[in-house]
A and B are shown apart, each in its own frame.
Chain A
Amino acid sequence: MTTREMGHDAAPRVSFFNDPVIRGIIYQIVVAVILVGFIVWIVGNTAANLAAQNKTTGFDFLWKTAGFDISFSLLPWSRGSYYWEAFLVGLLNTLLVAFIGIVCATVLGFTIGIARLSSNFIVSRLATVYVEIIRNIPLLLQLFFWYFAVLKAMPAVRESIALPLDSFINQRGIFVPRPIPDEQFGFVWIGLALAILGVVALRHWAKKRLEATGQRFPVFLTSLAILFGVTGLFFVVSGASVTFEPPVLERFNFKGGLALPPEFVALAFGLTIYTAAFIAETVRGGIQSVNRGQTEAAQSLGLKENDRLRLVIVPQAMRVIIPPLTSQYLNLTKNSSLGAAIGYPELVNVFAGTALNQTGRAIECIAITMLVYLCFSLLTSAIMNWYNARVKLVER
């Protein structure tokens, strides 16, 4: 046989510019040159503009005194504090409202998501109406509504509306009693920590026993009993007590108690309501994603309703729910920057707003602010990647 060898050594003849490898290199060089040129152009312009405005750059302003007021701060704040302290105050305020929003939105969102799947007509319709209304209205508009139309329209301090448990609501926010634990209260925390350890150990033991003997142990109820029992025991034995300092109306404002400013309440409330609608959709999608066959298979294995949910449906639904849920949490954190529009002193408001205007260091302030959000985002995606790798379906 004398067929011609079609060997690999005879590389196809391609003209120089049609070779994909060479083309790729040329494209990349073009992109790189344009990008670098663009950056050089911007940096040059910025330097020229800054020089023309006699502005200096650098991060030294962080160690200068800020000299402005912040209406709501978790850290001690005075006009004499430094700019880096302002940064921390803003960051903490962002984290505070994000944390509260995430907790509340999760609870509300799961409730509404499950309600949407309810076989009860009225319940599922109410949930649908909620989701469709809230999702289609901009968050900023909702914040304005809660802040300007609801909270700012509350009566003045003198005519405060009294709520149960010694709380009051008026134009200046919500006033609730402040819990004051005494010195012995530390023991209660120790008791709680011990109880949590005990619960973890109990779960471990119950699982081992189930695997070894097949006997079930009512873990959930026992855990509850341990948590409340041990903590309560420490509370009683140590003689700890909590006193509540109620807010008292004085001449111009309430004294004592815990004051929640209207900006904070509106932002936390708005974020919760808005994000809950999205979480509800996530939850609904996740539960619906579990094939009916899974329920039927679990039934045919003889699992009871509770076990079916706990062992078969929920773990599979969670695999679908958790990734979008996390990105909703991240969205909520990013959306908390809208607090700047209603005057809640969070990061953007304090640092990219007031501090920037006072120092004129636009590039530095915005870069730091963006960097913080970038860190949140990277952290979230790192956790997500870890989780996804852990729950990934292992196929043949």
Chain B
Amino acid sequence: MAFLFRNKQKSHPELVKSTKELTVRLSEDAKPNPKVEEELARDLQQMKIRLQGTPGTALLSLTAPAHPPIVLQAAKAPGADGSAEAEVNTESVFQLLSYIIQEDLLYLLANNIHKLPFESRKDAQVIFSTAFRYKPAGASDPQVLHHVIQYRPEIIIALCRGYDRRESAMPCGGVLREALKYDSIAALLLYDEPTSDGKTRDLASVNPDIPSSGQGVFWRFFDWIDKGAFEVSADAFNTFRDILTKHKALVAAYLQTNFDMFFSKYNNVLIQSESYVTKRQSIKLLGEILLDRANYSVMTQYVDSGEHLKIIMKLLRDDRRMINYEGFHVFKVFVANPNKSIAVQRILISNREKLLRFLPGFLDDRTEDEQFIDEKSFLIRQIEQLPPAPVPPQAAS
């Protein structure tokens, strides 16, 4: 069969149409249908190749650019600006993408990615990534992504919901993190709210001063991180981190508006998670968020709270060393703060003796970590110099 098909190539519209039909059938069938799966897998693979070229052709045309001998951890794409796309016909890619948009295939795929066969999920991921990356020659705007943000934000939300299932978590996560280069995607996720008609809110209608209801897709991340298999949870955390760290101004404003809800969830679900990985990663991320300049006002608000300090001080006594270590980097912010709140001062003063006994031996095998040693002795000095009784902070009004 496949033999006969080889010569008879489907045209772009035919390919998109047939992919769409098959995906609809797949989503409707309760039982897995091997025949539909097989045909769909072929279509998706074909679509991927048309968008991206095949490894063979790509390699043949590959000329080794002169790279400086430096070690990069990430893959290096020579010509991410589109020039490397030379061997696939840009005109043809544009046409294919237009049909894909026209048929709303991306939305359908995003919702059914977990039902696709194993290899097709990866093909779908490539199709999404290539589509989202696509820029017409000379344009700085990713055209397809632009369209999605403006007219079909549901696709982005549907991709997030990929974390509901192990099968779809990683392809969806990969696409999301790539799209999160753009702040509008982060905004879309942060300000998502459930609506009566099931449609995703238009970004233009968002008022950043109104606190979130806590029902939007962003808040689901706490569940996805805390529950589920290691891969899902770890991947969801990576996306969560990207949302919170990639676009600083946006996030700073968001965290200020939603301070209480965010930190109560963060503390209860993540910092005090049963899962070691979640706990450790989230303490580290907390430190990163607080120490970011852009989040200065969030940080001051955070370190004013005695409750937060208690949670962090308990981490110092955890019986897992890396938890202690990550906790230390949040604890230091409380102590180093020159304008400590009364609540924070009270806790530190009533624990002064204990802290002074505890800190010198705290993680004392980290002998090669000079920054840590310096910071530790700085904290000890600060605690020694605490006043005997809490004094109102100067900045307090």
A and B interact physically: no
Instruction: Using CB atoms and an 8 Å cutoff, list the residues of chain A in contact with chain B.
Output: none
Enumerate chain B interface residues (CB-CB to A < 8 A). none
